[in-house]
Amino acid sequence: MGTRQLAALCATAGLAPLLAGCANDATTDEGRLSVATTVAPITSIASQIGGDRVKITGIVPEGTNSHTFEPKPSVAELLSTVDVIYVNGLKLEEPTKKLAESNIKDGAEIVELGTQSIPESQYAYDFSFPKSGGKPNPHLWTDPKYALKYAQIIRDDLSERDPDDASTFRENYDAFKAKVDAFDAAMRASFATIPRAKRKLLTYHDAYAYFSRDYGWDVIGAIQVSDFEDPTPKEVARLIDQVRRTKVPAIFGSEVFPSPVLRQIGKEAGVKYVDVLRDDDLPGKPGEPEHSWMGLMHFDYVTMTEAMGGDASALKAFEPGDTAPDEAEYPQ
């Protein structure tokens, strides 16, 4: 029985015990599934699939370090009421996941989108995520290929939980996929204007490992090391030498986490320091067109292309935007 059929049964049964039982099922908000998500890119992707048929509430505030974010005790109440919790997994948001495991209601599930999207053999281990630490790089969503896998998992999961709306979820996914495919084409066209030897990234946060594999970039370093502290003076000196040797035209900082160390490296190596990249803080404000996973990635890749001396015309001609109503709640 679909959720809307179940809602109708509850409404017409006239029995208080039955009505109370239905209220605890997947019909808690006008017959809609109730979903919790962690980081904003996942919230946005889920909203593109669920649209106005699903109530989505984000947990991790934008501009927060999701690796270390400790949710407030009040979040436990939300986690105890939702039908499904979408997390990235790959050990990105462990405090939030542990809170969810302790408070999830019977019949609800925690779905690890990242963990389901990539086999262990393809995990990326690197500067900030060394294999010895046992935590792979979790930032799959910066690669559109994996963002689509997240969307596919969400489509299938929502369809199983709410069969009555499965056709809507499929249509929303198809529209999202078409938009992502066009975005991918624009990315490749713009990146092709940058000589391959110049497509090298030194960033503050190590968020582009999977993207670089698929789009022909090399990540040559990351300032934020595995313990999320600043690098040692010896490591800084090594990075300055590396930037000089590779002759990259720019290095990239984070809009959310200003880095005096990265600014120092840029100054001493004689290269441009661009400090506006973001990996999970969506541009604009909730409700604005650019406030989406696609708007986030579009901003980053236009920025990268231009900083490296490429022609971003193809990307600028592409207009990111929602393909389904985004009614999700984004904590700020």
Spatial separation of the C-alpha atoms in residues 79 and 7, rounded to whole Å: 22
CATH number at 30-183: 3.40.50.1980
C-alpha distances in angstroms, 12 versus 18, 22, 23, 31? Answer: 10, 12, 13, 14
Determine how many CB atoms are found less than 10 A away from the CB of residue 323: 21
Q: How many residues does the chain have?
A: 332
Spatial separation of the C-alpha atoms in residues 326 and 310, rounded to whole Å: 33
Closest CA to 206 of 253, 265, 249, 269: 253
Q: Which residues pair with 109 in a beta bridge?
A: 84
Residue 29: DSSP 8-state: B
What are the two backbone dihedrals, phi and then psi, of residue 233, each rounded to the nearest 5 degrees?
Answer: -55, -35
Spatial separation of the C-alpha atoms in residues 70 and 323, rounded to whole Å: 32
From the DSSP assignment, how many helices (H) and strands (E) are in the chain? 13, 8
Spatial separation of the C-alpha atoms in residues 111 and 42, rounded to whole Å: 12
Rounded (10°) angle between helices 3-13 and 16-23: 150
Structure tokens at 269: 């190596």
What sign has the CA pseudo-torsion 214, 220, 225, 229?
Answer: negative
C-alpha distances in angstroms, 161 versus 33, 149, 158, 169, 175? Answer: 8, 18, 5, 11, 21
User: Which amino acid is located at 227 in the chain?
Assistant: D
C-alpha distances in angstroms, 179 versus 298, 318, 323? Answer: 12, 9, 8
Q: Residue holding tokens 């934008």?
A: 62
The pLDDT value given to residue 48: 98
List of residues 6+ apart from 167 with CB closer than 8 A? none
Spatial separation of the C-alpha atoms in residues 194 and 198, rounded to whole Å: 7
Residue 37: DSSP 8-state: E
The pLDDT value given to residue 269: 93
Determine how many CB atoms are found less than 10 A away from the CB of residue 214: 14
The pLDDT value given to residue 22: 41
The pLDDT value given to residue 226: 56
DSSP 156-198: HHHHHH-GGGHHHHHHHHHHHHHHHHHHHHHHHHHHTTS-GGG
Spatial separation of the C-alpha atoms in residues 59 and 35, rounded to whole Å: 11
Q: To 5 degrees, how large is the angle CA 183–CA 249–CA 315?
A: 15
- What Rg, from alpha-carbon coordinates, does the chain have? 21
The CATH number fitting domain 185-317, selected from 3.40.50.1980, 3.90.1580.10, 2.60.40.10, 3.40.50.300: 3.40.50.1980
Task: State the greatest distance between any 2 C-alpha atoms of the chain, in Å, as a whole number.
Answer: 76
Contact 91, 138 (CB under 8 A): yes
Query: Residues of CATH 3.40.50.1980 domain(s) within the chain?
Result: 30-183, 185-317
Q: Residue holding tokens 């000089």?
A: 244
**pLDDT in 10s for each residue of the chain, 332 residues:** 444 444 443 444 443 443 344 434 444 456 899 999 999 999 999 999 999 999 999 999 998 888 889 998 889 999 999 999 999 999 999 999 999 999 999 999 999 999 999 999 999 998 888 899 899 999 999 999 999 999 999 999 999 999 999 999 999 999 999 999 999 999 999 999 999 999 999 998 889 999 999 999 999 988 865 555 677 888 889 889 989 999 999 999 887 777 888 899 999 999 999 999 999 999 999 999 899 999 999 999 999 999 999 999 999 999 999 999 999 999 98
